[in-house]
Amino acid sequence: ETAAKGVSYGYGWWLPEFAGMSLIEAQGRGGQLIVIWPEKEMVVVLTAGGLNADELAAYLAQAVRSDGSIPENPQAVTRLKQIAAALKMPPPVRAVASPPAIATQISGRWYRLEPNKLGLEAMMFEVDDQKMQLGIMIGGRRYMMPVGLDEVYRLSNQTPSQLPAGVRGSWTEEDTFVLEYDEIGRVNHFTFSIKFTNESIVVNVDEPTGLYQLALTGHILD
């Protein structure tokens, strides 16, 4: 993906060119930054906010000096290889329990949500024994995505952003389903706690930064 300001971007990483430097950046909300400078084999971490990081870049570039090679650390290299190997392993799978009785009643029914800053207009769950599909409506268009019920995300490109998202969830009560929606390509992670009745739903939305903490209601869409 190419960002509006002409800097390449994808999966949470920016690839800016600045003052002759090719950088790799993770730009967090509130001014947090991780900057990788491959040419110098250097990583800069900024945890301050309310500043213009571009103004610091030139000073950092001029100030960088090397007094010599960093001593080898074979223990750390071994540990890094172990972590990298573990990350390649598939996630553990949990046995899928039978859905509660209300799942049959709500399956396939669209619930219209009140206006909200997520732009989420409606939701639907299609339940088939130990399988589930999530339906969402944004901008008048409907999207269908599989839901992992075994603690493993199911990936889909059928999303409003057309970028991959992972979805998983579980029934925590007889009438409550907790859904995790992880927009992998856009670094957004939402948790939806959905309480069902036959005719309505109450949806509590949360995400790690606290930017979206919403309580929504929805009713059967005619």
Per-residue pLDDT of 20-34, as tens digits, reads: 778 899 887 666 889
Using pLDDT thresholds of 50, 70 and 90, give the confidence band for residue 222.
Answer: low
Half-sphere exposure of 206 (CA within 13 A, CB side): 7
Q: What is the pLDDT of residues 59-84, one digit of tens each?
A: 777 787 777 778 899 999 999 999 99
Using pLDDT thresholds of 50, 70 and 90, give the confidence band for residue 142.
Answer: very high
- What is the pLDDT at residue 1? 46
pLDDT score of 151 more than 90: yes
- What is the pLDDT at residue 194? 97
Using pLDDT thresholds of 50, 70 and 90, give the confidence band for residue 118.
Answer: very high
Reference 122, options 106, 103, 140; nearest CA is 140
What's CA 181's distance to the chain center, in Å? Answer: 7
13 Cβ partners below 8 Å, 6+ apart? 24, 25, 26
Reference 25, options 51, 55, 57; nearest CA is 57
Measured between alpha carbons, how far is residue 71 from residues 37, 66, 171, 210 in Å? Answer: 20, 13, 51, 41
Check residues 198 and 73 and name the one with the higher pLDDT: 73
Give the residue-averaged pLDDT of 92-117: 93
Other residues' Cβ atoms within 10 Å of the Cβ of residue 181: 22
147 Cβ partners below 8 Å, 6+ apart? 125, 132, 133, 134, 154, 167, 168, 169, 179
Using pLDDT thresholds of 50, 70 and 90, give the confidence band for residue 187.
Answer: confident
49 Cβ partners below 8 Å, 6+ apart? 30, 31, 32
Q: What is the pLDDT of residues 33-53, one digit of tens each?
A: 898 988 888 888 888 766 677
80 Cβ partners below 8 Å, 6+ apart? none
pLDDT score of 3 more than 60: no
pLDDT score of 2 more than 50: no
Using pLDDT thresholds of 50, 70 and 90, give the confidence band for residue 184.
Answer: confident
